[in-house]
Amino acid sequence: MKLSRIAVAFFGLALFFSASAFAGDENKGTLRLQEKVTVAGTALNPGDYRVEWSGSGPDVQVKLIKGHDTVATFPAKVAVQKVPVTANGYGQDADSKALTAIYFGGKHYSLQVPPTAAQQSNPQGNSGASK
């Protein structure tokens, strides 16, 4: 009897920790910028960035991290993608080069960056692929 309680408790703890580890990966991703873009008034050079976001619901706060430094923080909306994209990528405004979206390969969601005054002059953006 006592052994079955211990086994159930052990199984419950293992399930809890595995769910926590899985949930932690849901709010992280990577981004490779192919050219210089801006976001929230910050110019970002080409290169690899870590993307992390926090918040519940569709409105989140995004951090772009290069090495150990947070280089940009900005609001975004989590949007559902009906079909996942094949590789990580991003969208940018054709005129202002402002970041408009971040896409995650194999995922059914993306991060949509709200338009700024510079982005509103040309609502159509193009996208740059990244690996």
Report if residue 90 sits inside a domain: yes
Decide if 5 is inside a domain.
no
User: What value does the mean pLDDT take over residues 16-45?
Assistant: 76
Q: Say if 111 falls within a structural domain.
A: yes
Q: What are phi and psi of 57, to 5 degrees?
A: 80, -165
Whether 33 shows a pLDDT value over 90: the answer reads yes
pTM above 0.85, yes or no: no
Question: Per the domain annotation, does 94 fall within a domain?
Answer: yes
Q: What is the pLDDT of residues 62-115, one digit of tens each?
A: 999 999 999 999 999 999 999 999 999 999 999 999 999 999 999 999 999 998
Report d(CA 94, CA 100) in Å as an integer: 10
Which residues contact residue 34 at a Cβ distance below 8 angstroms, ignoring those fewer than 6 apart?
Answer: 46, 128, 129, 130
- Residue 8 inside a domain? The answer is no
Q: Does any domain span residue 12?
A: no
Residue 42 lies in a domain: yes
Residues contacting residue 53 through CB under 8 Å, at least 6 positions apart: 27, 60, 61, 62, 63, 76, 78, 111
Domain of 125 in residue numbering reads as 27-129
**pLDDT the model gives residue 130:** 47
pLDDT score of 49 more than 50? yes
18 assigned to some structural domain: no
More confident residue, 115 or 22: 115
